[in-house]
């Protein structure tokens, strides 16, 4: 309840008791009608700033989605985590729509002035793996970068990214087979995720698929960066997970 609402309620109470009606029932009805009007008006005002509702769970291939032409990443996160990211880093993170549990976020990459995409293909006896590697850099600040990797195979697709905005601030996330993991250099972001009960981090879709969001690890982030670097080298990369 905001300060304006509290002040208005107090004013109504003072007014009705200072100028009481002869009928107690009428007196109470007038008071309740004032409360109803105030609540109704406050709801109308709030609609202007309300974030659109998230109606459905995303498809499997859109949980972490690179949108290269528009310089952004579309990402689905737990709502408390998404709100904390938007609050602390509004220049990079914004909520597109959300409900009580799940939020669709947009990561803005327009602050980087150099970008590149590479596509690699590797064949084995049983499968073909296609790697899409996206890089964003700031030529004036080498501590800032975005690495995004999508690995498409016959059976599944892996999507991962690491965004580093300065020497001390980064976020890493990866998705595979309904399981999404996220970890940040910001301990408060990590605690927001950990403090959400496991059953509230599990989402089911109409098609029987699931999305489960859990805390990632720093070691997984480091392995991702090493693998990304190795894939860009001229020699044959190490494709082991």
Instruction: Give the sign of the dihedral formed by CA 77, CA 82, CA 88, CA 94.
Output: positive
Label residue 140 by pLDDT band (50, 70, 90).
confident
My answer on whether 221 and 152 are in the same domain is yes
> Does residue 236 lie in a domain region?
no
Q: Is the same domain home to 187 and 76?
A: yes
Q: Are residues 19 and 101 in the same domain?
A: no
Both 129 and 99 in one domain: the answer is yes
- Tens of pLDDT along 51-75? 666 656 666 567 899 999 999 999 9
Evaluate whether residue 240 is within a structural domain.
no
pTM of this structure: 0.74
Residues 6+ apart with CB under 8 A from 191: none
Is there a domain that residue 179 lies in?
A: yes
pLDDT of residue 47: 38
Is the same domain home to 87 and 149? yes
Residues 88 and 144 in one domain: yes
Q: Which residues of 189-223 are buried (b: 16+ CB within 10 A; e: fewer)?
A: bbebbeebeeeebebeeeeeeebebeebeeeebee
pLDDT of 197 strictly over 70: yes
**Dihedral sign, Cα of residue 88, residue 96, residue 76, residue 241:** negative
Cβ neighbour number for residue 13 with a 10 Å cutoff:
13
CA distance 71 to 235: 29
Give yes or no: residues 16 and 99 share one domain: no
Answer yes or no: is pLDDT of 241 > 50. no
Count of structural domains, the chain: 2
* Residue 53 is assigned to a structural domain of this protein: no
> What pLDDT does 237 receive?
47
How far is residue 117 CA from its own chain's centroid? 24
- Judgement on whether residues 11 and 69 belong to the same structural domain of the protein: no
Residue 217 confidence class, pLDDT cut points 50, 70, 90: very high
Whether 40 is covered by a domain: the verdict is yes
Between 211 and 110, the more confident residue is 110
| 55, part of any domain | no
Residues 74 and 129 in one domain: yes
Does the residue 180 lie in any domain?
yes
93 and 155 part of one domain = yes
99 and 148 share a domain?
Answer: yes
Give the separation between CA 17 and CA 24, rounded to whole angstroms: 11
Residue-range definition of the domain harbouring residue 35:
3-47
Q: Are the C-beta atoms of 101 and 78 separated by less than 8 Å?
A: yes
pLDDT tens by residue, 2-51: 555 455 555 555 555 555 555 555 655 566 666 666 665 555 444 334 56
Residue 151 in domain: yes
Q: How far is CA 196 from the centre of its chain?
A: 15
Is 146 in the same domain as 205? yes
Q: How far apart are CA 46 and CA 95, in angstroms?
A: 17
Q: Is the pLDDT of residue 106 over 80?
A: yes
To which residue do tokens 């001390």 refer?
168
């Amino acid at each position: 309840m905001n300060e304006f609402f509290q002040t208005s309620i107090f004013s109504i109470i003072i007014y009705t008791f200072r100028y009481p009606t002869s009928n107690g029932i009428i007196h109470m009805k007038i008071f309740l009608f004032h409360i109803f009007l105030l609540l109704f008006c406050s709801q109308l005002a709030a609609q202007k700033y309300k974030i659109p509702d998230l109606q459905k769970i995303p498809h499997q291939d859109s949980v972490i989605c690179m949108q290269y032409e528009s310089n952004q990443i579309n990402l689905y996160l737990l709502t408390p985590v998404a709100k904390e990211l938007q609050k602390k880093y509004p220049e990079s993170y914004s909520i597109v729509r959300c409900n009580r549990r799940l939020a669709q976020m947009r990561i803005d990459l327009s602050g980087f002035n150099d970008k590149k995409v590479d596509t690699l293909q590797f064949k084995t006896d049983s499968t073909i793996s296609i790697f899409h590697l996206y890089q964003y850099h700031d030529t004036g600040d080498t501590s800032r970068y975005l690495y995004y990797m999508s690995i498409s195979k016959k059976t599944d697709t892996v999507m991962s990214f690491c965004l580093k905005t300065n020497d001390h601030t980064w976020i890493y996330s990866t998705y595979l087979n309904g399981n999404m993991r996220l970890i940040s250099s910001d301990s408060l972001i990590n605690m927001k995720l950990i403090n959400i009960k496991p059953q509230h981090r599990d989402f089911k879709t109409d098609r029987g698929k699931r999305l489960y969001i859990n805390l990632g690890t720093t070691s997984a982030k480091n392995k991702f960066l090493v693998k990304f670097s190795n894939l860009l080298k001229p020699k044959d990369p190490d494709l082991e997970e």
